[in-house]
């Protein structure tokens, strides 16, 4: 691959250098902060040779490259004047709160992951050497390798200070100095002495909390965030002739004292509360979060929001010594992705699919899942379902057994030694067992469900070719043009749009099924089929039906409207009710939902599309209830 050529194409299609306000990369993705997302040519970018996928979510425009991402990133920085260290000029910030949080966490933790991974792998190797008697804890080899690994964890505040400064747009060297203040040996000694003498440490008569900040996460992030506000003020009030001296002086004196007296202790308290919450959760439902993480991680990876979980796992290890909820769940998910892809490699009869699936599967079981996710599982859908099943079961088992991860690393078979620790080898054995179960279940399910894609002729039915009078909903019959075609009627009045335009990758990427979406113009959902209501949510935001012809139809009113908890929805029917085309299933207050800030676009999808040859839109643009919407062959 010509990385420079690929870099040029990516730059052109994200809107050019002038549209980029920040750029970082993780193990498989380029992570852009764009000033204007609408300037990016997403569809064209997805077709570029070397680009595996594009995700615009969580406040970042992410271009999935694969394991060669570092070389492409380097080529981009060589071709441009993008100052990725400082993040460029401030971009227009119209992101939602959650998007800002995810973007911030991702920007802070992504750059330090290589150091954390290296430290975790050294610890894992040491655990293996110790278990096989190759080294002893008293020997200098063990001690040297041990302090090499501990360095990344002990000086974690300094690493985080550097990456946080880039994200908060303040001086990275002043930020790292603040991290050094928290870890300075004299301060550590003063804290120890103060605890023994019960005499408080004071600065200008203000007491300082006796807190230890080695291996801490949250305190330094909050302190650097505070620095980002102090530094501009120091710049404004400093006289120009001596600004070079007074700006850093004011910044460090003010931020350092406030950090030691107020912010650091608050960060410590919050970190301990999170750890306490994790401990309580483990006591009452240790299986819950690992099972959810194991199931949903592929969807989180698609949106980039999985980086919001990384700090929780790190904080757990830094505060209580191990993590039982994030890394075990991600282990199950990652290896399950690999198992599902490998099943495709075994079953497919197409050489190009075999080659892609086998390499992506091996990479995934080692801990890097994007090639398997975007290149195989998401592309063919059924392997993704299999991976979510395997990951969920594996996460559930490891959660039930309270498996502890001690050193982190990219979750996969190569980092299984990170589960060595404690008083026995049980965590390691149970982690191996959970990982194997995840792979086996995902492999079997994927092998059963996967079918090689069939080259199909475009059979899209144009709107003008479908005459409304051909379909008579009042007769209670579905139109069948040639004796085998099934027509799904429109359940709403509105404007039909492609699923790809829905602002939710779960629908846009057709993860749940194929179909179409409607921008509704009124608040009544009518039955699109003759059949049975299989599921209707109490919240009223979604309903699942099965037609008499065997088509499973899901109607999802709006995006994230489940959060309304039934507000503005009125359900007229229940599970098991028989319906005919045109029967009213539910009503909703369209304008009230819009005023709450929710997108009301309503996907109508065929969830068992794999049972049919094709699922095609029968209309585009304006549509009325009872008119043809989807044609199934």
Q: Are 391 and 442 in contact (CB under 8 A)?
A: yes
User: What is the phi/psi pair of residue 88, to 5°?
Assistant: 75, -170
d(CA 287, CA 342): 27
Query: How far, in Å, are 309, 565, 571 from residue 538 at the CA level?
Result: 30, 8, 8
Round to whole Å and give the CA distance between 330 and 327.
5
Strand-pair category, 486-489 with 494-497 = unpaired
Task: Provide the strand spans (E) within 363-520.
Answer: 486-489, 494-497, 514-520
How far is residue 412 from each of residues 37, 114, 121, 155, measured CA to CA in Å? Answer: 34, 15, 12, 25
> CA-to-CA distance for 518 and 588, rounded, in angstroms?
15
Query: What tens digit of pLDDT does each residue of 552-599 get?
Result: 999 999 887 877 878 889 898 888 889 999 899 999 999 889 888 888
Q: Are the beta carbons of 238 and 292 closer than 8 angstroms?
A: no
For residue 64, which phi and psi values (nearest 5 degrees)? -85, 120
For residue 556, indicate whether it is catalytic: yes
Nearest residue to 368 (alpha-carbon basis) of 297, 287, 450, 443: 297
pLDDT at 454: 57
Cα distances (angstroms) measured from residue 166 to each of 14, 23, 26: 22, 11, 15
Dihedral angle of Cα 422, 427, 428, 431, to the nearest 10 degrees: -150
**Does 366 participate in catalysis according to the annotation?**
no
Bridge partner residues of 56 (DSSP): 61
What is the chain's length? 633
Q: What pTM was estimated for this model as a whole? A: 0.52
371 contacts 355 by C-beta, under 8 angstroms: no
Q: Are 37 and 60 in contact (CB under 8 A)?
A: no
Query: ∠304-5-380 over CA atoms, to 5°?
Result: 45
Q: According to the model, what pLDDT value does residue 86 have?
A: 39
**What whole-number distance in Å separates Cα of residue 302 and Cα of residue 53?**
9
- d(Cα 625, Cα 400) in Å, to the nearest integer? 48
pLDDT for the residue 357:
85
State the chain's maximal CA–CA distance in angstroms.
Answer: 91
User: What is the torsional sign of CA 446, 447, 449, 453?
Assistant: positive
pLDDT of residue 462: 36
In DSSP terms, which residues pair with 578 in a beta bridge?
A: 532
β 494-497/621-623 pair status: antiparallel
- Under 8 Å between Cβ of 247 and 188: no
Residues 6+ apart with CB under 8 A from 155: 179, 183, 214
Q: Which residues contact 158 (CB under 8 A, 6 or more apart)?
A: 176, 179, 180, 183, 220
Whether 539 contacts 594, CB under 8 Å: no
Tell me how far the alpha carbon of residue 631 is from its chain's centroid.
Answer: 34
Cα 371 to Cα 28: distance, rounded to the nearest angstrom: 8
Element (H, E) at 631: strand 628-632
Those residues of the chain that have pLDDT short of 50 are 84-92, 455-483
pLDDT of the residue at 322: 85
* pLDDT value at residue 467: 39
Q: Which of 25, 306, 541, 556 is catalytic?
A: 556
Counts of helices then strands in the chain (DSSP H, E)? 22, 20
pLDDT at 602: 93
pLDDT at 479: 38
**pLDDT of 84:** 46
- pLDDT for 158: 93
- Of the residues 26, 170, 306, 541, only one is catalytic, namely 26
pLDDT digits (tens, 9 = 90+) for 305-347: 666 677 777 777 777 788 888 889 899 999 999 999 999 999 9
């Amino acid at each position: 691959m010509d990385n420079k050529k690929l870099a040029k194409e990516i730059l052109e299609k994200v809107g050019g250098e002038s549209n980029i306000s920040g750029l970082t990369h993780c193990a498989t993705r380029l992570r852009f902060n764009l000033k204007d997302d609408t300037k990016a040519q997403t569809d064209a970018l997805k077709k570029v040779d070397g680009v595996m996928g594009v995700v615009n979510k969580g406040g970042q425009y992410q271009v999935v490259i694969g394991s060669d991402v570092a070389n492409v990133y380097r080529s981009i920085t060589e071709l441009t004047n993008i100052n990725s260290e400082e993040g460029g000029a401030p971009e227009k910030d119209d992101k939602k709160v959650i998007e800002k949080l995810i973007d911030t966490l991702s920007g802070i933790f992504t750059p330090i992951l290589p150091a954390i991974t290296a430290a975790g792998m050294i610890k894992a190797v040491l655990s293996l050497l110790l278990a096989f008697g190759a080294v002893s804890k008293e020997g200098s080899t063990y001690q040297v390798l041990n302090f090499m690994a501990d360095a990344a964890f002990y000086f974690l505040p300094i690493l985080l200070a550097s990456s946080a400064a880039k994200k908060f747009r303040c001086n990275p060297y002043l930020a790292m100095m603040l991290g050094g203040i928290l870890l300075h040996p004299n301060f550590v000694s003063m804290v120890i002495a103060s605890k023994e003498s019960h005499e408080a440490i004071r600065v200008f008569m203000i007491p300082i909390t006796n807190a230890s900040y080695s291996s801490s996460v949250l305190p330094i992030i909050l302190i650097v965030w505070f620095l980002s506000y102090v530094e501009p003020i120091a710049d404004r009030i400093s006289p120009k002739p001596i600004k070079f001296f007074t700006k850093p002086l004011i910044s460090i004196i003010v931020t350092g004292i406030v950090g030691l007296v107020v912010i650091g202790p608050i960060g410590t308290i919050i970190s301990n509360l999170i750890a306490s919450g994790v401990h309580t959760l483990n006591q009452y439902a240790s299986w819950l979060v690992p099972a959810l993480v194991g199931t949903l991680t592929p969807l989180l990876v698609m949106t980039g929001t999985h980086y919001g979980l990384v700090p929780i796992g790190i904080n757990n290890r830094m505060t209580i010594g191990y993590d039982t909820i994030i890394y075990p769940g991600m282990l199950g998910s990652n290896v399950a992705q690999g198992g599902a892809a490998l099943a495709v490699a075994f079953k497919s009869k197409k050489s190009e699919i075999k080659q892609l699936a086998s390499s992506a599967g091996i990479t995934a079981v080692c801990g890097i899942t994007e090639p398997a996710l975007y290149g195989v599982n998401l592309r063919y859908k059924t392997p993704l379902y299999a991976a979510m099943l395997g990951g969920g079961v594996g996460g559930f088992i490891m959660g039930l057994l309270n498996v502890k991860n001690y050193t982190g690393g990219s979750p996969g078979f190569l980092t299984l030694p990170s589960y060595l620790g404690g008083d026995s080898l049980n965590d390691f054995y149970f982690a191996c067992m959970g990982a194997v179960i995840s792979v086996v279940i995902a492999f079997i399910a994927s092998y059963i469900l996967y079918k090689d894609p069939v080259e199909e002729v475009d059979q899209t039915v144009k709107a003008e070719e479908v005459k409304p009078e051909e379909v008579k909903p009042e007769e209670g019959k579905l139109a069948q043009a040639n004796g085998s075609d099934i027509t799904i009627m429109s359940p709403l009045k509105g404007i039909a749009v492609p699923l790809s335009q829905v602002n939710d990758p779960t629908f846009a990427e057709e993860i749940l099924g194929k179909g179409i979406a409607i921008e509704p113009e009124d608040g009544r959902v009518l039955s699109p089929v003759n059949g049975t209501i299989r599921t209707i949510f109490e919240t009223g935001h979604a309903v699942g039906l099965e037609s008499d012809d065997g088509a499973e139809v899901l109607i999802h009113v709006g995006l994230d409207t489940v959060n309304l908890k039934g507000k503005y929805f009125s359900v007229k029917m229940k599970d098991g009710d028989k319906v005919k085309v045109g029967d009213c299933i539910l009503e909703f207050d369209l304008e009230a939902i819009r005023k709450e800030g929710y997108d009301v676009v309503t996907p109508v999808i065929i969830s068992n599309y794999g049972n049919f040859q094709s699922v095609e839109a029968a209309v585009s643009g304006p549509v009325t209830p009872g008119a043809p919407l989807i044609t199934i062959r």
